[in-house]
């Protein structure tokens, strides 16, 4: 199967991508993984991307797409893959479609993880990072749902702090950017007839089961 996973920050894409890819025995491919592999491997594309990343600039589409093309051409992706984090825009989606068509392939399904904005804010703004071991805790989940602030890491006893990325105003801004960039992408795939929405609230296992229920017809 060839799948794309989309959803807002805090929807649990990384977790679901790993579970689904494992269930289907296909590689999970994220742009983050691709970037790190190219940069650490010192590839020509990696060195080029690093020039932009070191300046805090976005890596141009053509560089990102070239990295994705190289990754999808690898042996383990020949019979299927799950893309997480790409495409992010309609032009990227169109390029991916053309790329797969060159190889005689196409996407089977685009899974959209749907979660309410307030739930995303609750999930992300409640996160606390340990200054000592780097583990992430949550003020709601770690306190048994009481909402009481947790100040100390339950793993090593280190002090917890809230990253700037996890502050409510930052989270809401990230959601605005996501909606602006990705709403057209969702419409694009809906028009292609391959978009399926999944309720991404509730226990992780239940969300995975909903996703797999949509995928089972394709795996028979």
- 163 included as an active-site residue: yes
The residue from 2, 127, 128, 210 that is catalytic is 127
The residue from 50, 97, 122, 174 that is catalytic is 174
Contact 86, 171 (CB under 8 A): no
Tell me the Ramachandran region of residue 42: left when phi exceeds 0, alpha when psi lies from -120 to 50, beta otherwise: left
Distance CA 12, CA 204 (A): 8
- 135 included as an active-site residue: no
The residue from 13, 71, 123, 210 that is catalytic is 13
Question: Could you tell me how far CA 132 lies from the centroid of its own chain?
Answer: 26
- 128 included as an active-site residue: no
- 172 included as an active-site residue: no
Contact 7, 200 (CB under 8 A): yes
Quickly list DSSP for 78-116: TT-EEEES---SHHHHHHHHHHHHHTT----EEEEEE--
On the 0-12 / 13-18 / 19+ scale of CB atoms within 10 A, 5 is: buried
Query: Residue 72: which residues within 8 A CB-CB, separation 6 or more?
Result: 29, 81, 99, 100
Quickly list DSSP for 158-195: PBEE--GGGSHHHHHHHHHHHHHHHHHHHHHHHHHT-E
The residue from 36, 78, 163, 167 that is catalytic is 163
The residue from 50, 88, 97, 172 that is catalytic is 88
- 174 included as an active-site residue: yes
Q: Give residue for tokens 């795939």.
A: 189
Q: Show which residues are catalytic.
A: 13, 88, 127, 163, 174
């Amino acid at each position: 199967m060839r799948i794309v996973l989309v959803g807002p920050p805090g929807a649990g894409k990384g977790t679901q991508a790993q579970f689904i890819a494992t269930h289907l025995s296909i590689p999970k491919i994220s742009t983050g993984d691709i970037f790190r592999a190219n940069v650490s491997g010192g590839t020509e594309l990696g060195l080029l991307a690093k020039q932009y990343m070191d300046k805090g600039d976005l890596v141009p589409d053509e560089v990102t797409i070239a990295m994705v093309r190289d990754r999808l051409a690898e042996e383990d992706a020949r019979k299927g893959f799950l893309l997480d984090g790409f495409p992010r825009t309609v032009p990227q989606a169109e390029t991916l479609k053309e790329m797969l068509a060159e190889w005689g392939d196409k996407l089977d399904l685009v899974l959209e993880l749907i979660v309410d904005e307030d739930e995303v804010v609750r999930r992300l703004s409640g996160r606390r990072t340990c200054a000592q071991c780097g583990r992430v805790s949550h003020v709601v989940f770690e306190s048994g749902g009481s909402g009481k602030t947790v100040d100390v890491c339950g793993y090593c006893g280190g002090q917890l702090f809230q990253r700037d990325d996890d502050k409510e105003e930052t989270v809401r801004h990230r959601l605005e950017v996501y909606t602006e960039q990705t709403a057209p992408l969702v419409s694009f795939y809906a028009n292609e007839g391959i978009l399926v929405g999944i309720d991404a609230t509730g226990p992780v296992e239940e969300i995975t089961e909903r996703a797999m229920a949509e995928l089972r017809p394709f795996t028979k």
